[in-house]
Amino acid sequence: MKKLLAVVVAGLLLSSIAFAQDVTPAQKAGAKSLNFTFGGLGAFGLRGTGPAAGIGASYFLSDNAAVRAGLQVAINSTSTPSNLTTGGTDGSTSQFLLGVSADYLMYMNAGRVRPYLGAGLNFATSSFDNKPVDKRGFDEQKGLDANGNPTGTIFGLGGIVGAEFFVYSEISLSAEYQLNLISIMSASDVQTTVGNTTTTAKGGSATNVLGFGAAGATLHIYF
């Protein structure tokens, strides 16, 4: 079944490429696109608009220059029953993630495959609330995610390199990589509540200059 699916996908891709030989990209001054990006979420569960999972929009200032904005939002919650007949307390977790960013892109040529370079700013924030089943050890904890990583805010400046391939004039796929030029992280305070006592550990901060970014793929629809 997997081999059949792979053959079908490959066939569709090859047919799209065959029909796209004479495609003229719809990128020109005033053109707009909706961008749907597929990729993993990075620091605090989020990264900037380029290779991060999320939705965005582009506007072309000229045939070779565009500005881009993006948004990533995630709200997750779970509930875990204690399964005890008496004295049990259900557990729950809730997480909120928000990321916004703005990028400037410069395209290298006017062909069907268009490499581009750019730079962008991004901001991301996240919070996590954990109430374990049966209150074992603590009643509630905030400031650390499910893996014990700090939550909080991050601001970054990144470099961008990628290429966009036009399947049709108004539909394209792009692959992109971001290099983190500088990022400033501010972690939330970690609050742990046991019974009626709440203790607070101050969150730290960090500044990173240069570093590996993230890679991702995006579907663009022009109008």
pTM of the model: 0.74
Instruction: Work out the percent of the chain whose per-residue pLDDT is above 70.
Output: 80
Confidence at residue 42, expressed as pLDDT on a 0 to 100 scale = 44
Coil, helix or strand at residue 207: strand
Query: Taking a C-beta distance cutoff of 8 angstroms, is the pair 53, 38 a contact?
Result: yes
Confirm whether 5 is domain-assigned: no
Q: What is the pLDDT of residues 23-67, one digit of tens each?
A: 889 899 999 999 998 764 443 334 444 445 688 999 999 999 999
Query: Taking a C-beta distance cutoff of 8 angstroms, is the pair 118, 106 a contact?
Result: yes
Domains in the chain: how many in total?
1
Confirm whether 136 is domain-assigned: yes
Per DSSP, 40 falls in state -
Confirm whether 20 is domain-assigned: no
Confirm whether 12 is domain-assigned: no
Q: What are phi and psi of 29, to 5 degrees?
A: -55, 130
What CATH number corresponds to the domain at position 124?
2.40.160
Confidence check: pLDDT of 13 > 70: no
Q: What is the pLDDT of residues 180-222, one digit of tens each?
A: 889 888 888 888 888 788 888 888 888 888 877 677 789 999 9
The whole-angstrom separation of Cα 207 and Cα 18 is: 48
The whole-angstrom separation of Cα 158 and Cα 85 is: 54
Confirm whether 41 is domain-assigned: yes
The whole-angstrom separation of Cα 208 and Cα 195 is: 38
Confirm whether 96 is domain-assigned: yes
The total number of residues written for the chain in this structure: 223
Confidence at residue 61, expressed as pLDDT on a 0 to 100 scale = 97
Confirm whether 120 is domain-assigned: yes
Cβ neighbors of 215 (< 8 A, separation 6 or more) are 39, 51, 175, 176, 177, 178
The whole-angstrom separation of Cα 180 and Cα 165 is: 24
Query: Taking a C-beta distance cutoff of 8 angstroms, is the pair 181, 159 a contact?
Result: yes
Confirm whether 1 is domain-assigned: no
**101: domain range?**
32-222
The whole-angstrom separation of Cα 183 and Cα 187 is: 13
Confidence check: pLDDT of 11 > 80: no
Instruction: Work out the percent of the chain whose per-residue pLDDT is above 90.
Output: 28
